[in-house]
């Protein structure tokens, strides 16, 4: 005789298609590869700070600090955030404003998955636009 678990089956983490809109990013940078490189570097520097800021304030139940962190993330993602990322970030912000912590937690987890897909693309973009370091032998 087999026993059934009373726990619901866990679904595998959903993978979402996150793709940079390089045309939008290059337009935002005014077609200047140097400016684009600076935007990429700023993004890769600021993102860990803002995600940490959000995680810490959310864990401490400091709603106003968490809302500020969402605003900072929004600014950080304004160039690189794709539609799904921006939608998740907006939903997270509304959940915080409405006091819906469970929903905010779900959106935060989704945002983290999306950012894990987005960051390597920004890193690749930087590699693609960086000038060669010297002659190839």
pLDDT in tens, 58-107: 999 999 999 999 999 998 888 887 889 999 999 999 999 999 999 999 99
Q: What is the CATH number of the domain that holds 85?
A: 1.20.120
Per-residue pLDDT, averaged over 14-27, amounts to: 77
- Is residue 9 pLDDT above 70, yes or no? no
How far apart, in Å, are the Cα atoms of 48 and each of 42, 45, 53, 126?
A: 11, 7, 8, 17
Number of domains in the chain: 1
Flag whether 17 is in a domain: no
- Is residue 3 pLDDT above 60, yes or no? no
Query: 26: which 2 tokens?
Result: 């290059």
Flag whether 8 is in a domain: no
- In angstroms, the CA 20 to CA 17 distance is 10
Range of the domain at 116: 22-129
Flag whether 78 is in a domain: yes
């Amino acid at each position: 005789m087999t026993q059934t678990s009373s726990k619901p089956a866990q679904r595998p983490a959903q993978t979402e298609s996150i793709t940079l809109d390089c045309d939008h990013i290059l337009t935002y940078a005014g077609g200047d590869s140097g400016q684009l490189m600076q935007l990429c570097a700023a993004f890769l520097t600021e993102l860990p700070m803002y995600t940490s800021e959000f995680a810490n304030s959310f864990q401490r139940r400091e709603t106003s600090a968490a809302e500020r962190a969402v605003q900072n993330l929004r600014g950080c993602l304004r160039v690189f955030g794709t539609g799904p990322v921006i939608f998740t970030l907006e939903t997270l912000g509304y959940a915080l404003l409405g006091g819906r912590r469970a929903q905010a937690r779900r959106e935060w987890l989704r945002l983290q998955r999306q950012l894990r897909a987005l960051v390597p693309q920004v890193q690749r973009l930087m590699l693609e636009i960086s000038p060669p370091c010297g002659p190839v032998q």
